């Protein structure tokens, strides 16, 4: 079993390595981007990546204290589903209108995960990075054009 401090250090080391690996890659608009803390510019809508001792995941997360706003953002996302699927090149992401996040807050998500990998095994890191890299790049490509569909919701 790992202590909280060891878990935190492992996560920090992994995300630092991932960030360095992704640093030379420009956004779809040919601009530098911080991939690990990707900013959509839409309050309550974010692209999140996570890794733990059992899996790695990537998600579009909609979180708002105003549930009608959260619903509106999710509805807009569902209207753009085909555009998202085309950008990702895969249609097996899980769409959830309402599910609890790690703190118990209800959020809307569009997510995919790779199970059977652990942030504590450095030999798993290449598979984890290979899982995350094309998907965050694809989400960026979607967002490059798709963000304009959210302008009236900002």
Give the single-character DSSP code of 154.
-
The pLDDT of residue 4 is above 90: no
Q: Which residue has the higher pLDDT, 94 or 3?
A: 94
Would you place residue 83 in the very low, low, confident or very high pLDDT band (cuts 50, 70, 90)?
very high
Mean of the pLDDT values across residues 64-71?
Answer: 91
Beta bridge partners of 109: 61, 96
Would you place residue 150 in the very low, low, confident or very high pLDDT band (cuts 50, 70, 90)?
confident
Residue 29 exposure: Cα atoms within 13 Å on the Cβ side: 11
How far is Cα 99 from Cα 94, in angstroms, rounded to an integer? 11
Residue 33, Ramachandran bin (φ over 0: left; ψ between -120 and 50: alpha; else beta): beta
The pLDDT of residue 32 is above 80: yes
Predicted confidence (pLDDT) per residue in 97-130, tens digit: 999 988 899 999 999 999 999 999 999 999 999 9
Would you place residue 65 in the very low, low, confident or very high pLDDT band (cuts 50, 70, 90)?
confident
Residue 72: CB atoms within 10 A of its CB come to 17
The reported pLDDT for the residue numbered 45 is 95
The reported pLDDT for the residue numbered 153 is 79
């Amino acid at each position: 079993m790992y202590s909280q401090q060891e878990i935190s250090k492992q996560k920090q080391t992994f995300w630092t390595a991932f960030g360095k690996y992704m640093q030379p890659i420009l956004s779809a608009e040919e601009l530098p981007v911080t991939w690990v803390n990707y900013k959509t510019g839409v309050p309550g809508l974010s692209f999140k990546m996570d890794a733990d001792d059992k899996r790695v995941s990537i998600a579009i997360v909609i979180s708002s204290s105003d549930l009608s706003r959260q619903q509106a953002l999710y509805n807009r996302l569902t209207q753009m589903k085909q555009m998202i699927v085309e950008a990702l090149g895969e249609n097996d992401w899980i769409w959830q209108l309402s599910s609890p996040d790690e703190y118990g807050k209800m959020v809307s998500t569009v997510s995919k995960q790779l199970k059977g990998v652990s942030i504590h095994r450095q030999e798993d890191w290449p598979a984890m990075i290979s899982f995350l890299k094309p998907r965050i790049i694809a989400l960026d490509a979607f967002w490059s054009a798709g963000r304009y569909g959210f302008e009236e919701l900002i």
